[in-house]
Amino acid sequence: MTAVEVLDGDHHLFGVHTTSMSYVFTVTAEGLLRHLHWGAPIALADVIIEPIWALSTNDLIHDVMPQEYPPHGRFRYNEQCLMVRFPDGGRELDLQYQGYDATDTELTVHLHDPKGVDVDLHYEVLAVDAIKRWAVITSDVPGLVLESVASAQFAIPFQDLTLRNVEGRWGAEFQQTVQQVRGKIVLESRHGISNHHHSPYAVLSREATETSGRVWAAALAFSGNTKTVVEQTQYGQTLLQLGVNDFDLELTLLEGETFTTPPVVALYSEQGLEDVSHRLHAFGRSLMSGGDRPVLYNSWEATNFDVTCDGQIALAESAAAIGAELFVVDDGWFGRRSPDATGGITDGLGDWWVDPVKFPDGLAPLITRVRELGMDFGIWVEPEMVNPDSDLFAEHPDWIYSEPGRTTDTARGQYVLNLTLPAVQEFVAKMLDELLTDNDIAYLKWDANRPMSQVGPGRDVWLRHIEALYAIVAQVKRRHPGVLIEACASGGGRIDFGALAVFDDFWTSDNTDALDRLEIHRAYSLVYPPKAMRAWVTDVPNFLSQRSIPLQFRFHSAMFGSLGVGCDLSTMSDDELAQCAKYVEEYKALRPLMDQFHRLENPSRNDYRLFQYSSQSGAVLFAFLPQSRLGHTSTTVRLRGLEPSARYRFTHDWQQREASGQYLMSRGIRLWMQGDYASTIIRFDRVGN
Ligand code: GLA
């Protein structure tokens, strides 16, 4: 049962079914859309429409009854999906059910307010065992102002839910939070980008572990200001709403004009968190370009802004020797980009010409050498920004966001370009097009190193900026198919399903400490696919943690993401370079097995961190022990995602062994590691069945 189902009887009953869930709602006598079920599969024919519980005259239907898309007005006191201002100043909405359209996989329900607003609610069944929801608002009056417009509301018939999301900041993105839902929780971004602090999703559960328990999850595909609201009602439910943030937002629709909200992907599982992750990863992968991500070398931590043609060629030669497939020149190659005496940088951004001092003959000698070495070439850009001392700013001081009569602040010495201006869009698109046309470039790292601020009078720019960004990236990809684009925003500031639909690779954090990264990647993997989780091995002591972690641990940690190397290879000994080459080779051999990602349980009192990939042809176990304590206690690793009846060959305790998938998943293997920063990888090859 994976389809849209409609029962037209006394009540209209709507069902949207995927393999593991049903989503059901109905139309009330008042013409409202009453939410009935988001959970395990049920047949519409069985649905009992229970009376609405109202004990007193204070329990009013609009407040008590969970609705699909509650607008502002009547007795509604919870968060509302839609708030408008009519030309007459009126603000109450009265959305009435009008009818529906249905195909096998998509249901559209039409709502109408006689004062001049149409709302279409869309429900699409996705192949990844999830649904997609979004809303389309049409104005039938001239100048309808949208003050708040969410993508969807969901209702869960329990009050005792646990909410998972992330918190953090630069250098500490994706720190998992697990909290009991009490009252109302708002997770939002006001930074103009999806930000370092939270991520636009909610994973709600009851007694869930990785492999058991009920989980409701929903994630918004948008990279700008977002708002996720989780709210307990007084009537035993929890409401969940996701959408663009209404903070400082106002969208004006002309007569006949529409606004389409970003979509939300939603799913339900009774198999715990891992099942939810796998289905969300499948959704993410369905948006992303295919193929393995290349092993890259990036020069940022090695050189910072101090790039030169000869220095980069020397790094490229070493990078090729250790097996890198892509060489990326980071910041510093353009304009007059160099830190001043105080270390500040106020120049370069906007002037996307090659620095003639650092590259006297342009980029060609470097790119030619990189290609001769058998690698692809990639380059760093920060297209949405401009520095005050640049030629671009001197020519177009009015191209930045600014408040009338005020001075605009810089952050990291730079301004944000007003990407909602057609001239700016044209400039950015042309600059990228020329860069990619004139040079043999296979990869762009697209950075954004400051949040938006002081955006001026236009209150729609929070949204329009991101729409323009998506359009420019899509245009670049259309004109230069095959080019991969990495999203970076001072580390992991721009990771969400909206970004996943246009970018190919994601820089999760500037924190490259191999131990910190284990937790960043664990939390990232709850919702986002590890396929595009870029991780570099960098030098020690780490610039941020000042920790010196052994090379093997650093490689193993980076290898469970998409491997990159950011070390200063010119300072490494031949022996270290040979070790790097060995790990890169090992990673390439493991890459085909790295399909489904598992966060394994550690039953030991010793702090093992256990992760696994599984695929049709085998599995890879990544085990880490940051610090050996308690007399080197062992752990037992029970694998997941194997074929129970198949046989797997692996090397363990220096012996080659063979076991069934059933055995490895039920009994598991004992793993005993010693020392500080111990790590190991065990490969399981499917040999029979
Ligand atoms: C940001 C990125 C880094 C690097 C620098 C360059 O901080 O996250 O990886 O590209 O910008 O300025």
From CA 600, how far away is CA 320, in angstroms rounded? 34
The mean per-residue pLDDT over the stretch 181-208 comes to 97
- Ligand 1 pocket, 331 CB below 6 A? yes
Instruction: Name the H helices within 207-356.
Output: 272-287, 300-303, 309-321
HEC string of 525-588 equals CCCCCHHHEEEEECCCCCCCCCCCCCHHHHHHHHHCCEEEECCCHHHCCHHHHHHHHHHHHHHH
- Ligand 1 pocket, 300 CB below 6 A? yes
The helix or strand, by DSSP H or E, that contains position 258, with its residue range, turns out to be strand 258-260
The 10s digit of each residue's pLDDT in 616-666 is 999 999 999 999 887 778 999 999 999 999 999 999 989 999 999 999 999
Among protein residues, the one with the nearest Cα to ligand 1's atom 2 is: 490
Among protein residues, the one with the nearest Cα to ligand 1's atom 11 is: 490
* Nearest CA among 590, 599, 528, 511 for reference residue 556: 590
The mean per-residue pLDDT over the stretch 371-378 comes to 98
Among protein residues, the one with the nearest Cα to ligand 1's atom 9 is: 510
- Ligand 1 pocket, 382 CB below 6 A? no
380 Cα–ligand 1 center, Å: 9
505 Cα–ligand 1 center, Å: 15
> Going by C-beta distance under 8 Å and a sequence separation of 6 or more, which residues neighbour residue 674?
625, 628, 632
Our mutation pick for probing the ligand 1 site, out of 380, 445, 505, counting the most ligand atoms within 8 A of Cβ, is: 380
Peptide bond into 262 cis (omega under 30): no
Our mutation pick for probing the ligand 1 site, out of 193, 349, 445, 449, counting the most ligand atoms within 8 A of Cβ, is: 449
Please report the pLDDT score of residue 10 as a whole number: 76
Contact 141, 84 (CB under 8 A): no
Please report the pLDDT score of residue 129 as a whole number: 98
From CA 665, how far away is CA 663, in angstroms rounded? 5
89: left (phi over 0), alpha (psi -120 to 50) or beta: left
The 10s digit of each residue's pLDDT in 234-290 is 899 999 999 999 999 999 999 999 999 999 999 999 999 999 999 999 999 999 988
447 Cα–ligand 1 center, Å: 7
Q: Which of 113, 129, 355, 447 is catalytic?
A: 447
Model confidence at 1, in pLDDT bands (50, 70, 90)?
low
- Ligand 1 pocket, 490 CB below 6 A? yes
> Going by C-beta distance under 8 Å and a sequence separation of 6 or more, which residues neighbour residue 383?
417, 428, 431, 432, 446, 472
510 is a catalytic site residue: yes
DSSP type of residue 211: S
HEC string of 179-197 equals EECCCEEEEECCCCCCCCC
**What is the model's pTM?**
0.97
Residue 689 has pLDDT above 80, yes or no: no
The 10s digit of each residue's pLDDT in 514-554 is 999 999 999 999 999 998 899 999 999 999 999 999 999 99
Contact 140, 126 (CB under 8 A): no
153 Cα–ligand 1 center, Å: 37
CB atoms within 10 A of CB 40: 12
- Ligand 1 pocket, 380 CB below 6 A? yes
446 Cα–ligand 1 center, Å: 10
Residue 13 three-state SS: strand
Please report the pLDDT score of residue 72 as a whole number: 97
- Ligand 1 pocket, 491 CB below 6 A? yes
304 Cα–ligand 1 center, Å: 9
Residue 511 has pLDDT above 80, yes or no: yes
- Ligand 1 pocket, 79 CB below 6 A? no
Our mutation pick for probing the ligand 1 site, out of 298, 447, 543, counting the most ligand atoms within 8 A of Cβ, is: 447
Length of the chain in terms of residues written: 689
Tokens matching residue 373: 């070495």
Beta bridge mates, 654: none
Please report the pLDDT score of residue 403 as a whole number: 97
Residue 196 has pLDDT above 90, yes or no: yes
Please report the atom of ligand 1 found closest to the CA of residue 510: 8
* Whole-number average pLDDT of the chain: 96
36 Cα–ligand 1 center, Å: 47
610 Cα–ligand 1 center, Å: 29
The mean per-residue pLDDT over the stretch 138-150 comes to 97
Q: Which of 113, 275, 510, 513 is catalytic?
A: 510
What is the rounded end-to-end Cα distance, in angstroms, of the chain?
30
The 10s digit of each residue's pLDDT in 274-325 is 999 999 999 999 999 888 999 999 999 999 999 999 999 999 999 999 999 9
- Ligand 1 pocket, 492 CB below 6 A? no
Please report the pLDDT score of residue 340 as a whole number: 87
Beta bridge mates, 38: 23
Contact 156, 38 (CB under 8 A): yes
Our mutation pick for probing the ligand 1 site, out of 330, 445, 511, counting the most ligand atoms within 8 A of Cβ, is: 330
573 Cα–ligand 1 center, Å: 27
- Ligand 1 pocket, 447 CB below 6 A? yes
- Ligand 1 pocket, 510 CB below 6 A? yes
